[in-house]
Structure 1
Amino acid sequence: MRAWQYEGGGAPIALNEVAEPQPGPTQVVIDVKAAGLCHSDIMYMETGDAVMPFLPMTQGHENAGVISAIGAEVTGFRIGDVVGVNSAGVQLPLGMFTPGGFADKLAADYRDLARVPAGLDLSLAALATDAGMTSYHAIIKAGGARSGMKVGVIGFGGLGQIGARAAVLAGAQVHVAEMKEDVWPIALEAGVVDCVRDADEWAEDVVNPMAGGSFDLIVDYAGFDTTQKAVNAVKRGGTVVQVGLGKPTMTLITPTILGKTLIGSLGGTVTDIEEVFDLMLRGEITPVYTEIPFDEIGAGLDRLKNNEVTGRLVARFGD
């Protein structure tokens, strides 16, 4: 079968022929139908040599498809079920420590499967398993966004667009910091109050940096030079949730974090995925995404790296 793999040495992802996976006792094999492309895939190629247990590694951690084989200990699922896969669940992370879904078939633990409801497009189902789950968990479960809160979202990309909309649905007053002004109309249409280019603008009225700004909650989906800006803008007693991994390290001015909470949010749960599925099926969350063919995954990752993508890229396989 075909598989897009990172081979090591910082080389671009390569399309190879590999053996089809066989299910372990608690695994199913999924015929992949859609796979989202993520900035984390690029990060994995930049850091993978030191941490991946073996190379080449099939990448792709945002997947949906149809079960085609079942292990002996699997319960609750059967061949033909349409599922998405939680890449941050029981099984080691897909595409980083175990083969992912940039391939015709994928082996996944049945406890990491989210049932795709009838009528939900598989591109949406795929991106919901990471961009949806991760952004939703960070802002709703970890951050606790709710009615009456002033919430900031840094980065209105594949994750930020879903997180911002989830907070709007929760009744929060949502503000977005996003450098790409061409996506501002999308943010406003999603119910965001306003947009700025730089989160620094949220802290312009801060007289005492130790006291902070006016935000109850800020979720940073970027992770470049943005974390300190979030800390500056959140008020005393407020929370910053870090999701984005744009840079491998960050520096914070110690006094500015006092009296505030900084949380790192990673992934989420199958329940989070299924809640996002439901919101998508009902049309409450309608993320912007672009479909590409399987053969263009390598070029698609280059587009992501060069910041040439609005929303999410999703590779569609043969249905």
Structure 2
Amino acid sequence: MRALHLTSHESPPALSELPVPQPGPGQIGVRIGACGLNFADLLMMQGRYQDTPPLPFTLGMEIAGTVETLGEGVTGLAPGDRVAVYGGRDGLAEYGVFDATRAVRMPESMSLEDAAAFQIAYGTSHLALDHRARLQPGETLLVLGAAGGVGLTAVEIGKLMGARVIACARGAEKLEVARAAGADHLIDARSQDIREAVLALGGADVVYDAVGGDQFTAAFRSARPEARILTIGFASGEVPQIKANHLLVKNLTVMGLYWGGYLSFRPEALTGSLATLFGWYAEGRIKPHISHVLPLDRAMEGMELLRSRASTGKVVIRIPG
């Protein structure tokens, strides 16, 4: 089978021919149809992600496909079932083996591309806003990186939860994507002072930050007393440093959210969130925004779209049978 395989953190991954893996006990073998790309894939290539597997490994964190084989002891799934899987790796390949507990049946109406773009982006935002920040109807939510893979879902989910949403992104084209997702107010990070613009709108109760760097600092300074600030990621490449005395003065709370981490210590929070989200999809209330669908042999072009922030929403790699 073909797979985008990484053998060194000093050189790019290569499309390689590898043996088709066979499932062990508790695992399923999946014919992969689509794989969603994530900023974490870029960090894994550099060995900088918190869950980077040991070399060598195949990239690709979330997939959608069809169950082909079952390992010993697997129940509740059958060959032919269409599933979405967050595997954390091994997704940019024609076949993959994953723990059966990580597989979720897709709604009948859901395409493989939508399913591959769904779990991490929507799961991160819903768990962050609902479970962690306890976003309430009528509160003001500021989303940084609002046209990105997770940021756009934060706009959409924040609006569904009844918040007033301020979307911050770079350039008119990306802001238009955020507006279409439900944003009430738009801030252009290229040309506007984020702090002044947010304060002019009354400040933020919840900040959703997938960017870091100077944008975090501006958002921090525009937060209302008792605001909750969610650190989701650092697309800017700069991890902000927080002065504890500033938290004290405004009674602020800064909280982290690593979606995949819930699999190891509180999986029911993650699975319950996904059940809600798949229900919303089936009802037509949410739908992934996918700006690019590329074949497996162009997967590195997709990675570059993420790195350069040239995409909006998700980039998906289609893996035809």
Q: Counterparts in 2 of 1:183-262, with a 5 A limit?
A: 183-198=174-189, 200-203=193-196, 214-246=203-235, 247=237, 249-258=239-248, 259-262=251-254
Secondary structure at the counterpart of residue 24 of structure 1:
coil
Secondary structure at the counterpart of residue 75 of structure 2:
coil
Amino acid of the structure 1 residue aligned with 2:55: L
Q: 1:103 aligns with which of 83, 86, 93?
A: 93
Q: Counterparts of 2:85 and 2:198 in 1: how far apart (Å)?
A: 44
Q: TM (normalized to structure 1)? A: 0.88
Q: Counterparts of 1:138 and 1:179 in 2: how far apart (Å)?
A: 23
Secondary structure at the counterpart of residue 120 of structure 1:
coil
Q: Counterparts of 1:230 and 1:143 in 2: how far apart (Å)?
A: 16
Contact 1:228 1:253 in 2 (8 A): no
Q: Counterparts of 2:188 and 2:49 in 1: how far apart (Å)?
A: 35
* Deviation, structure 1 residue 86: 2.8
State the Cα deviation string for residues 103-149 of structure 1 (Å, max 9, x = none): 11111111111110101111111111212211222122222223111
Q: 1:49 to 1:55 in 2, by over 3 A?
A: farther
Q: Counterparts of 2:171 and 2:287 in 1: how far apart (Å)?
A: 19
The corresponding residue for 1:91 is: none
The corresponding residue for 1:6 is: 6
Amino acid of the structure 2 residue aligned with 1:263: M
Q: Counterparts of 2:175 and 2:110 in 1: how far apart (Å)?
A: 27
Q: Counterparts of 1:194 and 1:187 in 2: how far apart (Å)?
A: 9
RMSD over aligned CA atoms reads: 2.3
Q: Counterparts of 1:205 and 1:5 in 2: how far apart (Å)?
A: 43
Q: Which runs of 5+ in 2 are unaligned?
A: 263-269
Amino acid of the structure 2 residue aligned with 1:286: K
Q: Counterparts of 1:223 and 1:43 in 2: how far apart (Å)?
A: 15
Secondary structure at the counterpart of residue 294 of structure 2:
strand
Q: Which runs of 5+ in 1 are unaligned?
A: 88-93, 208-212
The corresponding residue for 2:267 is: none
The corresponding residue for 1:210 is: none
The corresponding residue for 2:315 is: 313
State which drifts further: 185-194 or 119-128.
185-194
Q: 1:204 to 1:123 in 2, by over 3 A?
A: closer
Q: TM (normalized to structure 2)? A: 0.87
State the Cα deviation string for residues 142-193 of structure 1 (Å, max 9, x = none): 2222311111111121111111101101111110111132121222222211
Q: 1:293 to 1:204 in 2, by over 3 A?
A: closer
Identity %: 27
Q: 1:261 to 1:50 in 2, by over 3 A?
A: closer
Q: 1:206 to 1:168 in 2, by over 3 A?
A: closer
